[in-house]
């Protein structure tokens, strides 16, 4: 909150204003304000336990699923306040997709059905073969699985599973993609592929990426936000955060003095 | 001194090994006798016929098998939604006082003797209807099936990783569909195992049927009439004074053993190939 | 039509409303299923209580429980022969099954080769899954003759000076019923005992072995004392099963509402008399007396099972703290 959100080159997709989030008595996110630009990658970095995941999960209202969890403030998606009673979280989550730290494909569904799970589980049609192919291509997985779409997703490698989860998130045609340390369970090669993929996806989607890997943040993101003890310590263009941080804490963190 | 300690060790090891043998003797004897005495009479006519009067040749347990299937089917219709539903409730929302109370009561109910549950079914179904019936037997069986089903379902649902639920919710799938089509679907192998075990137990039950479904010499598919069951027929054959009926009791026992055995094998099989099931 | 729909005040699109309804329906269904379990428990108590009340009223609780005569025709309803028979047969079952189950569990867990475990475990599970009417059949035609021709003469010759082993040797009676119960509860006791043994921290055992103990000494010093409460719990669980077991006992106990000191004599048990007489009971008092017997059975079973659970829990909790 001390650092004013940097004016971004493109339009703002999500505008967070003085967001607070709690788990029972734990105050995990403290008065965070941040502008998230459209069709760009915003990286969230910071030491473990600083509230990155909690912040991210407020953006699609997954945070409120825990019985004791609570959030206050304003999260504007295209100007509409997500935390107000007007927005239905179930509808919202189709607009704001999420990819998790560990790949979590549905083990009871085939690869094909995993991609269109957003339709299938909702009892909707719309999961056509074209959708499957398009999303798998977008997720850069098509060539590897096109011959075994009926197989179990558990037969895929970890990196492939993670890309499958991305394809699954893309299939419901979200506007925003939230990724919480998506590469932490992947080896360097799979990670490199994932970063390439993120680079391609930002042409069409707004991406918010939590990562512990500073190089990854530097390589993939346009904007970087540094969280510290629940607060947003500093946010700005990635290049500026890594080369010329305004805050001492940020400098210490990005130069590896702590965390 | 050292020799004595050695000997004591050896003796106790021998005794414990003997215990293994002693435990297996009744099983071997029982299986052997049921097979050897039951097999000769286990003909298609026996499996498809109905009991013949004393002295007449032939006769079978077909109507009893049908009755057992009828009652087990009706009992499952009652017990599976309640047992599985309660199990899901306990797994997903069962950490509060209500959940704790239900869990405790289910555990207590699981050790109530089946004959006592038979009396409950008698009071709830037979007395209002005014006569014995298949549905009364089915209610008794259902009372027996619900508690173990609930506990097992809870266990298997709890094994489903929370990340799958999150993945589904994050796709904009509503909570109830997530519960049903992701969480329960993933635990289905385990739940199927629990159902098959409960069905096997119900199919082998005799005591509560004696005064709920009673018996019937004829074919019956109507739930509101007294019904034969394989177990009650075996019991009646066994305690009769006639040699030929004793032989039928053994054949009936073999048929029942096969039925229960197949159900148990299926249960193992269902547990094996699905996520979560293998841990038991 | 379209115009009138548009004028409806509901702003929410219908998928959202049906979703809300789905959520609500689903959780109401789950709560109802869970509540049904509470309902059943309430029903058990209510039904038995109401059915048993007339008997307790007409006969008096004390006189009913202590009465030694059971003759429905003349209206004599004393529960003691059944309570006695249930206790005696269960005691025999425990005395026989406990050493076998513990020996078997120790052998599997501590002594024998590990590859013996799966087949024996499978056999014991099979034993547990056999329907009780088949046990009764086997008991009636195999166990009873063996008891009559072999076990009873042997016991009579060796221990005939005890009143327990006197009188005519007919096979049908407490002894046969106890033995068949022993077979039936063996899987329960063995399974829980093995669970308890597995929960003993290896460090405890290694400590004993490091002191130069033989395997049996290690078991005596480190294993059995630690597992004692758990094994007692296993025993009580087995006992709970024995008390409620109906068919097998009915078929071999002789079904005589009498009390005898000798294990060779015919007797009766609580579940057996309910099984035999409930369908044919005609007088209301007779029915009520049978329900009262069921209530007694229920009470004893519940007390035993709670005690067993507490014991098993205490053991594992203590071990959890120790390790
Ligand atoms: N389910 C929960 N219940 C209670 N407190 C929680 C829960 N999840 C997180 N917290 C607390 O909230 C704070 C922020 O956690 P959060 O998971 O957002 O951190 P993070 O920045 O994502 O950390 P990491 O980099 O380790 O993933 C921490 O202090 C944590 O202990
Ligand atoms: Mg995190």
**Phi first, then psi: what are they for A184, rounded to 5°?**
-70, -20
Q: What pLDDT sits at residue A163?
A: 93
Residue among A50, A57, A66, A229 to mutate when testing ligand 1 (max atoms within 8 A of CB): A50
Other CB atoms within a 10 A radius of the CB of residue A165 amount to 28
Task: Give yes or no for B45 touching C (CB within 8 A).
Answer: no
Among A7, A13, A12, A19, residue whose Cα is nearest residue A232: A19
When CB atoms are compared, the residue of A93, A102, A107 closest to B171 is: A93
The two beta strands, A231-237 and A80-81, are unpaired
Confidence of residue B278 (pLDDT cuts 50, 70, 90): very low
Say how far apart CA B160 and CA B185 lie, in whole Å. Answer: 10
Q: What pLDDT sits at residue B166?
A: 94
pLDDT at residue C94 tops 80:
yes
Among C279, C238, C277, C236, residue whose Cα is nearest residue C255: C277
Say how far apart CA B119 and CA C81 lie, in whole Å. Answer: 21
Secondary structure class of C245 (helix, strand, coil): coil
Which chains have at least 3 CB atom pairs separated by less than 8 Å from chain C?
A: A, B
> Which tokens belong to A47?
């030491």
Task: Give yes or no for A86 touching C (CB within 8 A).
Answer: no
The ligand with the least distance to the CA atom of A44 is 1
Q: What number of C-beta contacts closer than 8 Å exist between B and C?
A: 257
CA dihedral A65, A70, A73, A74 (to 10 degrees): 10
Question: Is the CB of residue C88 less than 8 Å from the CB of residue C267?
Answer: yes
Q: What number of C-beta contacts closer than 8 Å exist between A and B?
A: 69
Residues of chain A found within 8 Å of residue B170, distances taken between Cβ atoms: 60, 62, 93, 97-98, 100, 169
Say how far apart CA C177 and CA C186 lie, in whole Å. Answer: 14
When CB atoms are compared, the residue of B90, B175, B206 closest to C247 is: B206
Confidence of residue C110 (pLDDT cuts 50, 70, 90): confident
Instruction: Tell me the shortest Cα–Cα distance from B89 to chain A, in angstroms.
Output: 16
Which pLDDT tens digits describe chain A residue by residue (259 residues)?
444 444 445 689 999 999 999 999 999 999 999 999 999 999 999 999 999 999 999 999 999 988 889 999 999 999 999 998 888 999 999 999 999 999 999 999 999 999 999 998 988 776 688 899 999 998 889 999 999 999 999 999 999 999 999 999 999 999 999 999 998 888 888 889 889 999 999 999 999 999 999 999 999 999 999 999 999 999 999 999 999 999 999 999 988 876 5
What are the sequence ranges of the domains in chain B? 2-41, 46-279
Q: What pLDDT sits at residue B280?
A: 29
Q: Which range has highest mean pLDDT (A187-196, B252-261, B262-271)?
A: B252-261
How many percent of chain B have pLDDT more than 70?
Answer: 97
Q: What pLDDT sits at residue C204?
A: 86
Alpha helices in C211-252 (DSSP H): 215-218, 224-244, 247-252
Q: What pLDDT sits at residue B34?
A: 97
Q: Whose CA is nearest to atom 14 of ligand 1?
A: A51
Q: Which residues of B touch A (CB under 8 A)?
A: 161, 163-164, 166-174, 177-178, 181-182, 185-186, 188, 275
Q: For the ranges B193-202, C45-54, C108-117, which has the lowest average pLDDT?
A: C108-117
Q: What pLDDT sits at residue C200?
A: 87
Q: Which atom of ligand 1 is nearest to the CA of A50?
A: 21
Residue A70 CB less than 6 A away from ligand 1: no
User: What interhelical angle do B97-110 and B62-93 show, nearest 10?
Assistant: 150
Flag if B170 and A97 touch (Cβ within 8 Å). Answer: yes
Question: Which of residues 4 through 33 in chain C touch A, CB cutoff 8 A?
Answer: 16, 19
The ligand with the least distance to the CA atom of A232 is 1
Say how far apart CA C319 and CA C23 lie, in whole Å. Answer: 43
Q: What one-character-per-residue DSSP string does chain A give? A: --SPPPPPSS-EEEEEEEEEEEETTEEEEEEEEEEEETTSEEEEE-STTSSHHHHHHHHTT-GGGSTTEEEEEEEEETTEETTSTTS-HHHHHHHEEEE-SS----TTS-HHHHHTHHHHTTT-----HHHHHHHHHHTT-HHHHTT-TTS-GGGS-HHHHHHHHHHHHHHT--SEEEEESTTTTS-HHHHHHHHHHHHHHTTTSEEEEE-S-HHHHHHH-SEEEEEETTEEEEEEEHHHHHHS-SSHHHHHHHTTS--
> Which tokens belong to C142?
């195999």
Distance of CA B111 from the midpoint of ligand 1 (Å): 43
Say how far apart CA C287 and CA C278 lie, in whole Å. Answer: 7
- Dihedral sign computed on CA atoms, order C137, C138, C143, C145: positive
Interface test with C, best of B113, B171, B174 (most C CBs within 10 A): B113
Q: Whose CA is nearest to atom 6 of ligand 1?
A: A23
Say how far apart CA C129 and CA B197 lie, in whole Å. Answer: 9
Which chains have at least 3 CB atom pairs separated by less than 8 Å from chain A?
A: B, C
pLDDT at residue B188 tops 50:
yes
Q: Whose CA is nearest to atom 19 of ligand 1?
A: A49
Class of the B46-279 domain? mainly alpha
Residue A53 CB less than 6 A away from ligand 1: yes
For residue B40, give every residue at least 6 positions away whose Cβ sits within 8 Å of its Cβ, in sequence order, or none: B247, B251
Provide mean pLDDT across the span C115-123: 90
> If you average pLDDT over every residue of chain C, what do you get?
90
Domains of chain C: 80-256+296-322 (1.10.3720.10)
When CB atoms are compared, the residue of C22, C241, C251 closest to B238 is: C251
When CB atoms are compared, the residue of C19, C108, C130 closest to B174 is: C19
Question: Which of residues 204 through 233 in chain B touch C, CB cutoff 8 A?
Answer: 204-207, 210-211, 214, 231
Other CB atoms within a 10 A radius of the CB of residue C276 amount to 18
pLDDT at residue C131 tops 70:
yes
pLDDT at residue C7 tops 50:
no
Question: Is the CB of residue A136 less than 8 Å from the CB of residue A146?
Answer: yes
Provide mean pLDDT across the span C289-295: 96
pLDDT at residue B137 tops 90:
yes
Task: Give yes or no for B177 touching C (CB within 8 A).
Answer: yes
Residues of chain B found within 8 Å of residue A90, distances taken between Cβ atoms: 172-174
Residue A23 CB less than 6 A away from ligand 1: yes
Question: Is the CB of residue C108 less than 8 Å from the CB of residue C122?
Answer: no
Question: Is the CB of residue A243 less than 8 Å from the CB of residue A65?
Answer: no
* Higher-confidence position of B199 and C212: B199
Which architecture, in CATH terms, is A12-105+175-254? 3-Layer(aba) Sandwich (3.40)
Q: What pLDDT sits at residue A122?
A: 86
Confidence of residue B113 (pLDDT cuts 50, 70, 90): very high
Residues of chain C found within 8 Å of residue A91, distances taken between Cβ atoms: 16
Q: Whose CA is nearest to atom 24 of ligand 1?
A: A48
Flag if B16 and C34 touch (Cβ within 8 Å). Answer: no
Q: Whose CA is nearest to atom 31 of ligand 1?
A: A49
When CB atoms are compared, the residue of C38, C43, C112 closest to B17 is: C112
pLDDT at residue C13 tops 60:
no
Instruction: Tell me the shortest Cα–Cα distance from B56 to chain C, in angstroms.
Output: 23
H and E: helices and strands count for chain B: 13, 0
């Amino acid at each position: 909150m001390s650092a004013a959100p940097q004016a971004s080159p493109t339009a703002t997709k999500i505008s967070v204003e003085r967001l607070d989030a709690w788990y029972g008595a734990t105050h995990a996110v403290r008065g965070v304000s941040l502008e998230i630009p459209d069709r760009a990658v915003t990286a969230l970095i910071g030491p473990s336990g600083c509230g990155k995941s909690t912040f991210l999960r407020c953006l699609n209202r997954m945070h409120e699923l825990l019985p004791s969890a609570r959030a206050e403030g304003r999260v504007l998606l295209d100007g509409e306040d997500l935390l107000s009673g007007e927005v239905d979280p179930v509808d919202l989550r189709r607009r704001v997709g999420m990819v998790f730290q560990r790949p979590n494909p549905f083990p009871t569904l085939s690869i094909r059905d995993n991609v269109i799970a957003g339709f299938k589980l909702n009892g909707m049609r719309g999961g056509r073969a074209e959708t499957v192919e398009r999303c798998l291509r977008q997720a850069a997985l098509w060539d590897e699985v096109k011959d075994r779409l009926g197989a179990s997703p558990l037969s895929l490698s970890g990196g492939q599973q993670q890309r499958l989860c991305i394809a699954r998130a893309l299939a419901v045609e979200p506007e925003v993609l939230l990724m919480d340390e998506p590469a932490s369970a992947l080896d360097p090669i799979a990670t490199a592929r994932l970063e390439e993929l993120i680079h391609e996806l930002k042409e069409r989607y707004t991406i918010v990426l939590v990562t512990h890997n500073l190089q990854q943040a530097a390589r993939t993101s346009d904007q970087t936000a540094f969280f510290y003890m629940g607060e947003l310590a500093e946010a700005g263009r990635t290049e500026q955060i890594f080369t010329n941080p305004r805050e001492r804490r940020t400098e210490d963190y990005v130069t590896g003095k702590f965390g | 001194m050292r020799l004595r300690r050695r000997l004591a060790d050896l003796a106790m090891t021998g005794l414990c090994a003997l215990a293994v043998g002693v435990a297996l003797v009744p099983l071997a004897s029982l299986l052997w006798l049921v097979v050897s005495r039951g097999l000769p009479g286990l003909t298609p006519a026996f499996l498809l016929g109905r009991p013949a009067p004393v002295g007449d040749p032939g006769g079978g347990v077909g109507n009893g098998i049908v009755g057992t299937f009828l009652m087990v089917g009706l009992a499952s219709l009652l017990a599976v939604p309640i047992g599985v539903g309660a199990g899901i409730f306990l797994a997903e929302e069962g950490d509060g006082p209500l959940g704790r109370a239900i869990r405790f009561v289910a555990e207590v109910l699981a050790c109530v003797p089946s004959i006592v549950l038979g009396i409950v079914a008698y009071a709830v179904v037979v007395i209002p209807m005014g006569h014995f019936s298949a549905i009364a037997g089915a209610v008794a069986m259902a009372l027996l099936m619900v508690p173990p089903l609930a506990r097992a379902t809870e266990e298997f649902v709890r094994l489903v990783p929370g990340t799958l639920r999150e993945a589904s919710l994050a796709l904009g799938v509503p909570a109830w569909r997530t519960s049903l089509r992701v969480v329960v679907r993933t635990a289905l192998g385990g739940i199927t195992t629990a159902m098959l075990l409960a069905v096997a137990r119900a199919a082998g039950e005799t005591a509560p049927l004696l005064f709920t479904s009673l018996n019937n010499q004829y074919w019956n598919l109507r739930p509101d009439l007294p019904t034969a069951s394989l177990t009650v027929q075996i019991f009646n054959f066994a305690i009769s004074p006639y040699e030929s009926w004793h032989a039928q009791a053994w054949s009936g026992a073999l048929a029942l053993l096969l039925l229960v055995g197949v159900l148990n094998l299926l249960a193992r099989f269902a547990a094996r190939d699905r996520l979560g099931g293998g841990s038991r | 039509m379209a115009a009138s729909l548009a004028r409806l005040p509901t702003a929410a699109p219908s998928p959202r409303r049906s979703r809300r309804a789905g959520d609500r329906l689903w959780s109401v269904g789950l709560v109802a299923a869970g509540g049904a379990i509470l309902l059943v428990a309430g029903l058990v108590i209510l039904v038995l209580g109401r059915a048993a009340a007339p008997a307790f009223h007409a006969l008096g609780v004390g006189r009913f429980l202590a009465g030694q005569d059971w003759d429905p025709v003349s209206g004599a309803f004393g529960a003691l022969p059944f309570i006695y028979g249930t206790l005696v047969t269960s005691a025999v079952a425990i005395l026989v099954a406990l050493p076998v189950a513990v020996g078997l569990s120790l052998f599997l867990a501590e002594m024998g080769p590990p590859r013996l475990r799966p087949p024996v475990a499978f056999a014991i599970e099979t034993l547990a899954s056999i329907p009780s009417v088949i046990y009764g059949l086997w008991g009636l035609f195999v166990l009873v003759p063996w008891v009559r021709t072999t076990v009873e003469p042997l016991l009579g010759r060796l221990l005939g000076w005890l009143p327990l082993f006197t009188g005519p040797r007919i096979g049908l009676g407490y002894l046969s019923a106890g033995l068949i119960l022993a077979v039936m509860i063996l899987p329960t006791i063995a399974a829980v005992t093995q669970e308890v043994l597995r929960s003993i921290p290896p460090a405890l055992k290694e400590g004993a072995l490091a002191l130069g103990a033989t395997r049996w000494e290690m078991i005596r010093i480190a294993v059995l004392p630690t597992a004692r409460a758990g094994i007692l719990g296993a025993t009580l669980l087995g006992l709970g099963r024995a008390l409620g077991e109906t068919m097998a006992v009915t078929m071999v106990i002789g079904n005589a509402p009498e009390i005898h000191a000798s294990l060779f004599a015919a007797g009766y048990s609580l579940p057996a008399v309910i099984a035999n007489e409930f369908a044919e009971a005609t007088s209301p008092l007779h029915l009520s007396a049978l329900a009262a017997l069921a209530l007694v059975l229920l009470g004893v079973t519940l007390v035993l099972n709670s005690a067993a659970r507490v014991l098993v829990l205490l053991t594992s909790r203590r071990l959890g703290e120790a390790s």
